[in-house]
A and B are shown apart, each in its own frame.
Chain A
Amino acid sequence: MALRGLGRRISIGKRCFSSASEVEKPPRDGKPINLFSAINQALHIALETDPRAYVFGEDVGFGGVFRCTTGLTDRFGRNRVFNTPLCEQGIAGFAIGLAAMGNRAIAEIQFADYIYPAFDQIVNEAAKFRYRSGNQFNCGGLTIRSPYGAVGHGGHYHSQSPEAFFCHVPGLKVVIPRSPQQAKGLLLACIRDPNPVVFFEPKWLYRLAVEEVPEHDYMLPLSQAEVTRQGSDITLVGWGAQLSVLEHACDEAAKDGISCELIDLRTLIPWDKETVEASVRKTGRLLVSHEAPVTGGFGAEISASIAECCFLRHGLQLEAPVARICGLDTPFPLVYEPFYMPTKNKVLDAIKTTVNY
């Protein structure tokens, strides 16, 4: 039920994502498609528009376990779209070498939960490749895609949100889309960005989120947050699948007369502090929400940064402590998932507490 609710929410809520205030390319002639199909479209375009682009990873050849790479092998051949051995550090290391030769290496790690064997390659190699060589070499053509987050039945190893680990690494970009339209535009931007990017895809939304997505080639800007809903009482910041939860909470809060401003951070590093700061200056209150455990999560970084710049400075001030509604500090639990999750009502309660502080 909850899953379907989320899916519908995104379907219905699509107007929010293309509000008049946004100057990004609005949907034109878009067809309603789900998130994995949007990713699939982006990959088709990436391979079509750049003969030096390659897509590979475990099981991508037959279309991938989430169907994101469906049809690519038939269209582009096994030289450009291929399976790799089951070895994440090998995938990442291979991808870095391929990217370092001037290619667009689009690597898939089948689940974000399995990205850790590749951690050293991503953190010590990809992230530092340009810096350590004095810009003689770079692996900027590298994009690592990986499904992340809760899915209702994923337990420890099919549910994790490891974004914060990568947000601690200078040299990487971390991007997480909230919807099909966003996924396509952001993924194409990541693939073409001259820096290594880790692109986490909310697997819960692969099938559930349906939205009109333009069929043409378009990109959405990196390191730019998007205000998806204007408000005056409190600023809510999130990313990925959590945006839907926050939308619900905003609707509920509105019934109680609370006006929420909602921001999709989209790029986690380097993140768009200016947009969040400007919003908090207006509302005076901030709530950050993510699925990953609260301690050391990226919400902590946002909270600290906003406290630094908005606490009694420039005649404006935070009117309440920053609230964090996040995952618990436990491994991601199977049976207890509904308890672990930063649900709508947890968010709603925190909105009310913060506004009434």
Chain B
Amino acid sequence: MSISLFMSISLATYPSIGHQTKANKERQSEKPPLDLSSFLPHLLDLFSLLHSTMGLWFVRSRLAHHLGQKMASLGALQRRSWPSVSFLQLWNPLPSELVGGFSSNPINRWSDQRFASVKAESAAPVDDRCRYQVMDFPGGKVMFIPEMRFLAESPGERISCYRVLDDDGQTISGSSFQEVSKEIALKMYGDMVTLQVMDTIFYEAQRQGRISFYVTSIGEEAINVASAAALTIDDIVFPQYREPGVLLWRGFTLQEFANQCFGNKSDYGKGRQMPIHYGSNRLNYFTVSSPIATQIPHAVGAAYSLKMDKKHACAVTYFGDGGTSEGDFHAALNFAAVMEVPVIFFCRNNGWAISTPTTEQFRSDGAVIRGQAYGLRSIRVDGNDALAVYSAVHEAREMAIRESRPILVEALTYRVGHHSTSDDSTKYRPVDEIEHWRTARDPVSRYRKWIERNGWWCDDAESELRSNVRKELLHAIQAAEKMDKPPLAELFTDVYDQVPSNLHEQERLLRETIKQHPGDYPPEVPV
């Protein structure tokens, strides 16, 4: 399978620049997949042709840069609306960094993709290498040039986004993707629906005061489930907190979810953490911790261990767009590149870090662009397209393990729910923007259309599934609610492998106090 050269130029609305999302009508213009091999015979000709016009190019590019800046000020819509490139425009021998402008240089579009072709090599024209002096410098040869050219702050064209299913759930013609069996396809759908039902009911349970806190994954069901489906159970997951679907896919039961949210004695975390801080040793899913991005470097360390043990597995870590601003993100990408470890960095770019939009989070073109700066292979994928997420992660995993290298996946999506139950996102973003993503861009119904079209799914199956999950979950919640809390003794265990003397002493004192003032303490915790 080669997903590498597929190109789809979707003019999808995306809220990272400006907020025109709901205003924009979607337009799509798909290109058939391009095959590098069919191009190669043309390359030499193109080299000479374009080299002879290089001076012109440079002048043009400065003009274009100027124009580009003006255009940029007109907003994101214009930038996204640049006409799709023609076949010829796709190849330009100028290294992208030599051109300081916006979209005048289509190679940006190309070079983003060339990593996907494993053999991709230097783009510097042979002639230039003869004309200019070249210095050996750590990292490779560097060419001296007489012109003073600053690297542009942006590659111009935004990095395109891999997609398989269009908004109607039809596979885009010519798209290449990983085949999914009926069985896997239906389990994916079942888990996405389960995640939706879970979110609805747990959210309600929090509103009723039965659990203290909850975080939904609405809008990111495809990311959750499809990425998990593309992994194996031996792959080690270091989650943020909006990926319970990964755990669901791996076999965490609704009862196990409920036990954690209620912090009862069957919660593996022994009631010590807030709801949604799931973890499972059995399922290779490290326990969620609240701080943002701290898990990313852990995944690199774990991947190093997998590499040393020669395991056929990788580490996978999830985080959001906000997480990419944390130092741990940068540290982890750099470490992973330097140490050449099999790890997948999965960025859920959902547009919002609580109330902070991506425009106030970073100036780069999302997260994907940063992979290259650190020496990572990267891909941007439509996070609301389950098949695209599945295919991208499947391929990323293959490359990560086979070549022992880190891969960055950025999935474009939208946090349809509030940040958490402590948040009201309508205070800082328009309701119709949320509505647009909840309905027109819903990843679950888009994927449903695809399985229906395959004849694998129908309305009856749908209502049966939803009703079964609902019943099972309500039962799980009742059972979890009735169960005792973990005993008091567990307050003091697991700080260290053994309870040290100061904690023994503190436990003794606490028990004396409880005897004196039993009414001060929650009765559901067995003393």
Contacts and interface: CB of A to CB of B under 8 A. Distances in A.
Nearest to A99: B301
Interface residues of A, number: 45
B495 A131 contact: yes
A195 B327 CA distance: 25
Interface in B462-506: 493-497, 500-502
B334 A101 contact: no
Contacts of A128: 289
B496 A124 contact: no
A105 B301 contact: yes
A124 B294 contact: yes
B396 interface: no
Which of B272, B291, B328 is most buried by chain A, counting CB atoms within 10 A of its CB? B328
Given A98-B301, A117-B327, A132-B273, A84 B335 contact: yes
Interface stretch (A89-97, A319-327, A329-337): A89-97
A121 interface: yes
Interface stretch (A135-143, A237-245, A282-290, A338-346): A135-143
B238 interface: yes
Nearest to A196: B496
B495 A136 contact: no
A133 B269 contact: yes
Contact of A97 (B281, B297, B334, B496): B297
B268 A136 contact: yes
A273 interface: yes
Contact of A121 (B279, B294, B300, B500): B294
A97 B238 contact: yes
Interface stretch (B227-235, B303-311, B452-460): B303-311
A137 B497 contact: no
Contacts of A135: 493-494
Given A136-B279, A170-B495, A270-B500, A90 B304 contact: no
B287 A138 contact: no
Interface in B282-325: 286-287, 289, 291, 294, 296-306, 308, 315
A194 B497 CA distance: 7
B525 interface: no
A21 to B, nearest CB: 22
B142 to A, nearest CB: 21
B486 to A, nearest CB: 8
A258 interface: no
Interface string A216-231: 0000000100000000
Contacts of B298: 93-94, 96-97, 100, 125
A121 B332 CA distance: 12
A225 to B, nearest CB: 13
A130 interface: yes
B280 interface: yes
A137 to B, nearest CB: 6
B107 interface: no
A131 B328 CA distance: 22
Contacts of B269: 132-134, 136
B502 A273 contact: yes
Interface in B245-283: 267-270, 272-273, 277, 279-281
A100 B286 contact: yes
A65 B431 CA distance: 58
Nearest to A124: B291
A88 to B, nearest CB: 9
B126 interface: no
B331 A133 contact: no
B236 interface: yes
Contacts of B493: 135
Interface in A98-134: 98-103, 105, 117, 120-121, 124-125, 128, 130-134
A97 B497 contact: no
B514 interface: no
Contact of B268 (A79, A117, A124, A133): A133
A132 B497 contact: no
Contacts of A87: 331, 334-335
A270 B305 contact: no
Given A124-B289, A137-B286, A270-B501, A97 B302 contact: yes
Given A125-B298, A132-B269, A133-B269, 15 more contacts: A84-B335, A93-B300, A93-B331, A94-B297, A98-B301, A98-B304, A100-B286, A102-B305, A124-B291, A132-B272, A133-B281, A134-B267, A136-B279, A136-B287, A138-B497
